[in-house]
Structure formats: C-alpha cells, structure tokens
Amino acid sequence: MDAIDRKLINALHGGVPIEERPYLLIGGQLGISEEEVIERLQRLLEDRTLTRFGPLYDAVKLGGAFTLAAMSVPAEWFDEVAEIVNSFPEVAHNYAREHALNMWFVVGAEKPERIAEVLSQIKERTGIEVLNMPKEEEYFLELRLTA
C-alpha cells in the first residue's frame, strides 16, 4: 500500500459521493484518474487489504432483521458445522471463539421471520442448539482509523 492508496482509503472512509461518475470526482480530489481509482480499489480488494467495499444498508429500516447467534460446537465437528452454517446465504461474519459458545455468527434476512427459520434449520441440520441473541438496543459508534 502506497501513499495514494492510503489517501484513497481515507477519502472513501466517509462514503462515496452520489454522482454519475464518483470515481472521477474522487480521482480529481486525489490527483489521479478515474481509471486509476478503479484499478487501485480492485487491487486493494484482490490482495485483501480491503475485505469489502460497497454500500451499507440499514436492513431493519428496509423491513429486514439481523441477529447474533452462537453455538457450542464440539471441536472435532467444528469445520463440518461451520460449512453447514455458512451454506445459508443469510449467514455472515462467522467466527470461532475460545469460549463454551465457540461459534458466533450474524444472520441477516429480508423478513424478520426468516431469522427463526434459518436458526431452526441450522439446529435441524447440525443437531446443535443455536442461541439467538437479537439486539435490544442499538448504539452508533463511528470509528475512523486513518490508513
């Protein structure tokens, strides 16, 4: 990552302008071409410097739902269970933890009732209880780290 990559990441951290050609505008601010902005973003994604680049939507305001779920998975079945859990398109952010509840993941769905269906299907396919931990209250903390 060079100085221009850092400036690009920092410039995009607050959002992408709603423009017909936002990369042209961003490039102009950084002194590079529209094409170079796009090429740099592609490279940063390909080399995993950036793991995601795209819009964030408030699924709840759009009628959907999210929940945090956890499972206590025997170590010898962990990879197999992770594969089952990750096979659901509604599952994101699946992490192993050093805890009795050693698998944690987020389920996001277009309809709130789908959350219960997914968790039920995971339990049915794995034979392991799934703890559903929907949020009770939401707090917004804007974290900005300068590249």
Rounded distance, CA 103 to CA 88, Å? 15
pTM value is 0.65
Give the three-class secondary structure for 68: strand
pLDDT of amino acid 89: 92
Give the three-class secondary structure for 65: strand
80 in the same domain as 42: no
pLDDT of amino acid 20: 94
Domain that holds residue 129: 65-133
39 in the same domain as 78: no
29 in the same domain as 81: no
Share in percent of the chain as helix, strand, coil (round to 5): 40, 15, 45
69 in the same domain as 38: no
Query: Domain with 88 in it: what CATH number?
Result: 3.30.70.3460
b/e code 54-77 from CB counts within 10 Å (16+ = b): eeeeeeeeeebbbbebbbebeeee
106 in the same domain as 79: yes
Kindly give the parts of the chain with pLDDT less than 70: none
120 in the same domain as 89: yes
How many domains in the chain? 2
